[in-house]
Amino acid sequence: MTRIIDRLRAHALLSQSLCTFVCASAFVVAATIATPAFSQESEPEEEPVVEEVDDVVIPDTPQEVEVEVEVAEVVVEEVVLPVPPEVTAEEQAIIDQNAALQMQVELGNKLAAEARDAAESGRWRESASKFLEANSYLPNDPAILQGLQYAYSMLDQGPLLDQYEQQVKMEREAARAMFNAAIGSAEERLVRQDFDFARRQVERAIVRLERNDRNLFSEVEFNQRMTSAKTLLSQIAQQNEQWQQQRLLQEAAERNVAQADRQSAESKKRALLILNNMKRVRQLQLEHKYGQALDIVEEILFMDEHNAGALALRDVLKQTMIYRQWDTNQRDKEYSYATQEVGNQGALVAPTVNASGGDGKDFSSNGLMTYPNEWLELSERRSNASSGFNESFENRAIIVAMDRLTNSGHDFDGFTFEDALEEIMEEARIDLNYFIDWSRMSKALDMKQADLKEIVITDLKMGDISLTNVLERVLNWINDYNEALDDSETRIWFDIRDGVLEISMEKALKDNTYIEVYNVTDLIFKINSWDAPFGLGGTGGGGGGRGGGGGGGAGGGRGGGGGSVQGAFGAPVASGPMAAPGSGGQGGGGGMGGGGSGGGGIPSGTDVDNQEEVENMEALKELIEKYIISPTDAWTWDDGGQHELDILNTNFIIKQTPAVHREVTSFLSKLREVRALQINVESRFLKISTDWFEQIGFDLDLYFNTNNGFFDAVQDYDENAQLSDFFDSNGQFNGPLIYGGFEQDENGNMVPQFPATNIPTSHMVGILQPDGTINYQMNADGRVFGLGGPAGNGLSPLGIVQGHDQLIKTIGNFSSFGKTIVNSNPALGFGLQFLDDVQVDLMIEATQADTRNTVLTAPRLTLHNGQQSWIKVMQQVAYVSDLTLNSNSGAIGYQPVIDFADTGITFQIKGVVSADRRYVTMEVDFEVLETTFVPGGADVEAAAAGGSDGGGSAVTISSSIDLPSILNHHIQTTVSVPDKGTALLGGQRTVREYDTEVGVPILSKIPYLNRFFTNRTTSREESTLLILLRPEIIIQQENEEMLFTRSLLDVGSNDSFIR
C-alpha cells in the first residue's frame, strides 16, 4: 500500500499536459491492441480479472499532500498476471500499423493545436504551415481544413489551394488502399474462420470510411464501398452463425461421445470397485468379520441396487451373523456354566493357611478366617469411608512423628521454655508444621512474651519415651510453674489440626471443634446365646408342627424347641437378638415320661421391640461422658452447643475438638477390640473299629462199595454215577435209586421230577435255543436200582460222612463281620475226589480276613467370646412305630403310625477367652446319635370279627412294625484348653473275641491227623471311641498384621496417639 501511495505521489508531480498525453496514448494503445483472434481449434483464454483498488485522490497541483493512511494489518497478495500468448508476424504487423496510425492521430492533433496558437498570435504563415502539416496526418478533418482556409485567406495565397487539392487526391488513394487492405484481410480471416478478427477489420474500415475518409470519396463511391463492407460484414455474420451451429452440433456430438466414454469409464470403475469389494467381503468372511462384510455389501448395493451377488451375500451374511451370534451365545453359555462349575468346585475347597496370597487365592493365617486377595485395595478404598473422626494424612504424619522413640533419654534441665519446645520439634522432624501461640499465652498469663520464652526448666529428666509424652511433661512443668495445672484459663496445652501441631491456651484450643458422626451399631448389637435342641428323647412321638420337634421316648425326651412362625407371604421370621418369644410347641407324647413343652417361637407380623437397643445407646453415651472429660473443666458435654453428644438411631453426633475426637475414637476402638475376639472350636468324634476273622476247615467223606455187581449195573446205565449218590448229607442210605425225568426249580437248577431221585446226566442232551438258553432233554428211559435187584445180592454201600463244616456255621458266635464271611465263599477252597471201589471226597476251606474302619465326625463352630452357640447335623429317618386297626365298609386293615428317628450330631459350646488371651475355658455338650433297625422288625397280629361261618368267626390280621436301635454318645463337661491346643474330653474302648472249634471226638485230638477231623474259627472285634476338642482364638487385628505389611503413616482413625 505504501508503494502505491508513493507512485501516486510521483505521478501528481508531473505536468498536467504530459499526464494528459500519456493517459490519451495509453487509452488509444489499449483500444487498438485487440485480442488476437483464435482459430476454431484453439479456445480463447479467459482474461484475468484484476481487483479494483480503493480510489486515490490525486491533487491538481504538484504540492506535497499528506495522505492519511489507516494503519492496519493488510495482507497484499501478489497478483500474478498470466503471460499473454505469443502473436504471429501478421498480427504483430497489424498491431504496429495501428500504433503508427495512433501516433499519426496524436501528431495531427498536436500540430493542429500549435497552428491555432500561432493563429491567435497572428502568425498566419506559421499557422497555415502547421494546419497543412496536420492535414497530412489527419486528412479531410473539417476543423483543420477550416483553419487552413482561414490562414490562407489571411495570407491571400491561392496557389496553396492547388497544392491542397493535390494532397487530397493522394490521401484519397491512400484511403482506398487502406480500405481495400482491410477488406482483403477480413476476407482472408473469413476463409480461416476467424470471424471475430474479420468482423473487427470490417468494422474498423467502416468507421474509418465514415469518420476520416467520407470527404475524400464521392457519394457514389462512398456508398459502394460502404455497401461492399456491410455485405462482407453480413456474410461474416452468416458464416459465423453457420459455423456456430455446426460447432454446437459438433460439441454436442463430442459431449455425447465424451459422456459415453465417461459412463463407460465410470461403469468399468464401478465394476472394478464392486469386484474389489466382493474380494474384500470374502476376506472378511474368512476373518469372521461379518459385520464389516455386511457394511461393504450395503455399499455395493448402494452403487448397484440390483447386484445379484450382493443381494445373495446380504442374506447369507445376515443368516451367518445370526448363527454366529447363536453359536457365540452357546459358547458363552457353556463357558459361564464351566466358570460357575469351577466356582462351585472352588467353594468345595476348605480354607487353608496362605500367608502370601498369590494366584488369586485368599489370605489366611490359620485356615479358619480368610481375607480376600484384594484386601489391601479394599482397605485403602475404605480408609476414609468409616464413620467417626478420620485423621488427615498430614495429621497422621505429625502423630507418627510425635509418637516415635528417639532411642535416647531427654534432659531439659537448664533449658528455657522456648528452647525445650524447639528441641522437641527438631527431634520430631516436623519442620515448620507447628505453631506456638506466644501472643495468646503471654496475654493469658499476663506476662511478656520474652519472659514466657525465657522461663528456665529445672529438674526435668526423662528416659526414652515418646515425644508426645515428653511434650506433655514439659507443658505440665510450665503449668505447674505458673500454678495453672487446674485452671483452664491459664493452662497451656497442645492439639493437632489441619496438619499443624498447635501449642496454645487450653481454653483457646477448645473452640476449634468439628462435628463427626459415629456409627456404633456393631457395639450395641446383642450377641445372643443359644440352647441346642438335643434329641435325647430318642424315638418318641414327633414334635408338633412349627412349635418344635423333640418328643417323648424311652426315658422321656426334652421338649421340642420353639418353631419359627411364618411371616407374610410364607417367609420365615428369623429369630434375632431383639425377637419377642412366640408360642412354644406342645410336649412330646408317648414313651415313658413324655417330653416337656417346646420352647418359645417368634410370632408373625409383629414389630421388633428396640427398647434394649435404646438402653444400650444410653448406657454407651453415659460411659463416654463419664470417662472422657476435661481435667480443668475447660469444656463440658452439652454446654450450650459448643461441645455436644447426641443420639440419632444407632449413631452418635459429636461436636468436639480434635483431641477429644481422638479420645472418643480410641475408647470405641478398645471396645471393638475386646468385642472382636472370636473362638473357633473343632470337636472331633473319632471312632475306630477293627475286625479280624480266621477259619480253617477240612471235610473228609469215605464211601465203600460192598456189591460190585450192583454198582456196575448202575454205572452201565449212567456213566456219571457215584457211590455218594446212595447217601444223603448225613451219611444215611437213600434206598433204591430212581432215575427219571427232571425239572427246574425256582432258582433255575435241575432237580429230579417226582418220584425220581436221580438224574441220568450221561443221557442228557442240551439243545441251544435262539434266545441263548439251553433246552436239556433225556434220550433214555428211566430205571430203578435197588438192593436185591438184577445185580445180585450183597450188602449196601457203606458211607462215612463228616458234617462239622456246617455245624460250626450253626453254633459259631461271630461278629457282624464274621457272619458275612462265613456265609460267603471261602478265600481258599480245595476239593479232591477218588472214585473206585472206594470213593474218597476231601474238601479244604481256609479264610482269613481283617478290616479297619475309622469314622471321623469333626463339627466346627465359630463364636464370639462369651457366647453360647451350637451346631446340629441330623438326618431324620421315618419308620412305622405302631399300627392302628381300622375297619371301614367291611374292609379290615392297619393304619400305620409314622415316627422319626434321628441320626447325626449336636454340638453346643460356650467359650470364654482368658485375660491374657492364651487359654479358652469351654462348657461342652456333645451328642452323637446312631440309629439302626432290627432286621424284620416285630410281627403284630390282631383278631377281628367278620370271618367265615356268616361272619361269626374271628379273622387274624398280621403285619409288622419297625424296631429302631439307637446308639447314643453324649458328653457334658467344662474344660480349659490352651489356644490351638487339643484336649481329650472322653472315650471308650470295646473288645470282643470269639473262638469256636468243632471236630470228631478222639480223632480231633490226634496230632497231625486231627486236621482232617477239625474245623476252627476265630473272630475278634475291637472298637475305640475318642472325643477331642481343639479351640483357636481369632484376633482379627493380629491376623491382619501377620498377613499385611502396614506403612508407618498407615495409621487408621481407630488409633490414638495423643491424649
Query: Can you state the angle between helices 159-191 and 219-286, rounded to 10 degrees?
Result: 30
Torsion angles phi and psi, residue 648, rounded to 5:
-140, 110
Mean pLDDT computed over 289-293 = 90
pLDDT tier, 107 (very low <50, low <70, confident <90, very high otherwise) = confident
Closest CA to 429 of 390, 396, 383, 397: 397
C-alpha cell at 658: 480434635
Q: How large a percentage of the chain has pLDDT more than 90?
A: 7
Where would I find the H helices in 593-702?
611-627, 658-675
Mean pLDDT computed over 244-261 = 90
d(CA 328, CA 515): 56
Q: How confident is the model at residue 944, as a pLDDT?
A: 65
CA 837 from centroid of its chain's CA atoms: 92
Is the pLDDT reported for residue 148 higher than 60? yes
d(CA 805, CA 822): 10
d(CA 968, CA 685): 13
d(CA 238, CA 240): 5
Closest CA to 214 of 183, 185, 182, 171: 171
CA distances (Å), 712 to each of 778, 792, 837, in order?
Answer: 21, 11, 10
Query: Can you state the angle between helices 290-303 and 308-347, rounded to 10 degrees?
Result: 160
Measure the CA angle with vertex 576, ends 570 and 577; round to 5°.
160
d(CA 557, CA 907): 17
Q: Is 330 exposed, middle or buried (0-12, 13-18, 19+ CB in 10 A)?
A: exposed
Q: How confident is the model at residue 1048, as a pLDDT?
A: 33
Question: Which residue did the predictor score with more confidence, 234 or 135?
Answer: 234
C-alpha cell at 1010: 486231627
Q: Are 803 and 727 spatial neighbours (Cβ–Cβ below 8 Å)?
A: no
Closest CA to 757 of 782, 779, 778: 782
pLDDT tier, 795 (very low <50, low <70, confident <90, very high otherwise) = low
Q: Are 584 and 562 spatial neighbours (Cβ–Cβ below 8 Å)?
A: yes
pLDDT tens-place string over residues 881-929: 888 887 776 667 788 899 999 888 899 999 999 888 889 999 999 888 8
Mean pLDDT computed over 152-169 = 66
Q: Residue 366 in 3-state DSSP?
A: coil
Q: How confident is the model at residue 554, as a pLDDT?
A: 36
Q: How large a percentage of the chain has pLDDT more than 70?
A: 72
d(CA 795, CA 1032): 87
With a CB cutoff of 8 Å and minimum separation 6, the contacts of 438 are: 449, 452, 453
C-alpha cell at 189: 480471416
Q: Are 983 and 968 spatial neighbours (Cβ–Cβ below 8 Å)?
A: no
d(CA 559, CA 169): 163
pLDDT tens-place string over residues 91-103: 676 777 777 778 8
C-alpha cell at 442: 503471654
pLDDT tens-place string over residues 678-710: 899 988 888 888 887 777 777 777 776 656 666
Is the pLDDT reported for residue 289 higher than 70? yes
Is the pLDDT reported for residue 813 higher than 80? no
Q: Are 864 and 709 spatial neighbours (Cβ–Cβ below 8 Å)?
A: no
Question: Which residue did the predictor score with more confidence, 42 or 194?
Answer: 194
Measure the CA angle with vertex 536, ends 533 and 542; round to 5°.
75
* DSSP state letters, 1017-1029: EEEEEEEEEEEEE
C-alpha cell at 796: 449196601
Mean pLDDT computed over 20-44 = 35
Q: What is the 3-state secondary structure (H, E, C) of 377-436?
A: HHHHHCCCCCCCCCCCHHHHHHHHHHHCCCCCCEECCCCEHHHHHHHHHHHHCCCCCEEE
d(CA 682, CA 857): 10
For the ranges 36-40, 430-434, 523-527, 965-969, the maximum mean pLDDT occurs at: 965-969
d(CA 668, CA 218): 138
Q: Are 585 and 560 spatial neighbours (Cβ–Cβ below 8 Å)?
A: yes
d(CA 415, CA 473): 14
pLDDT tens-place string over residues 748-783: 677 777 777 777 777 777 777 788 777 777 776 777
Q: Which range is least confidently modeled, 488-502, 527-541, 631-645?
A: 527-541
Q: How confident is the model at residue 921, as a pLDDT?
A: 93
pLDDT tens-place string over residues 368-427: 677 777 777 767 766 666 677 777 888 888 888 888 888 888 888 889 988 999 888 888
Instruction: Tell me the β-bridge partners of 994.
Output: 1019
d(CA 981, CA 975): 12
The b-or-e profile of 944-955 (16+ CB within 10 A means b, else e) is: eeeeeeeeeeee
Q: How confident is the model at residue 596, as a pLDDT?
A: 41
Q: How confident is the model at residue 706, as a pLDDT?
A: 57
Which secondary-structure segment (H or E) carries 198? Answer: helix 195-211
pLDDT tens-place string over residues 723-757: 677 776 666 666 677 777 777 777 767 777 777 77
Torsion angles phi and psi, residue 749, rounded to 5:
-90, 150
pLDDT tens-place string over residues 450-464: 888 898 988 888 888
For the ranges 205-219, 364-378, 973-987, the maximum mean pLDDT occurs at: 973-987
* DSSP state letters, 561-587: PPPBPB-GGG-B----TTPPP-PPPPP
C-alpha cell at 991: 473288645
Q: How confident is the model at residue 136, as a pLDDT?
A: 74
Torsion angles phi and psi, residue 897, rounded to 5:
-105, 115
Measure the CA angle with vertex 291, ends 285 and 294; round to 5°.
75
Instruction: Tell me the β-bridge partners of 226.
Output: none
Measure the CA angle with vertex 610, ends 608 and 615; round to 5°.
160
Q: How confident is the model at residue 343, as a pLDDT?
A: 80
Instruction: Tell me the β-bridge partners of 983.
Output: 1029
Closest CA to 189 of 204, 174, 176, 208: 204
Where would I find the H helices in 72-158?
89-120, 124-137, 142-155
Q: How many residues does the chain have?
A: 1059
Q: Is 607 exposed, middle or buried (0-12, 13-18, 19+ CB in 10 A)?
A: exposed
Closest CA to 559 of 579, 525, 531: 531
d(CA 839, CA 856): 56
Q: Residue 29 in 3-state DSSP?
A: helix
- Strand boundaries in 676-793, DSSP class E: 678-704, 737-739, 742-744, 750-752, 764-768, 774-778, 783-785
Q: How confident is the model at residue 569, as a pLDDT?
A: 29
Q: Residue 359 in 3-state DSSP?
A: coil
Q: Are 703 and 799 spatial neighbours (Cβ–Cβ below 8 Å)?
A: yes
The b-or-e profile of 902-939 (16+ CB within 10 A means b, else e) is: bbbbbbbbbbbbeeeeebbebebbbbbbebeeeeeeee
Is the pLDDT reported for residue 438 higher than 60? yes
What's the pTM value of the predicted model, to 2 decimals?
Answer: 0.51
Closest CA to 742 of 763, 721, 717: 763
Q: Are 860 and 684 spatial neighbours (Cβ–Cβ below 8 Å)?
A: no
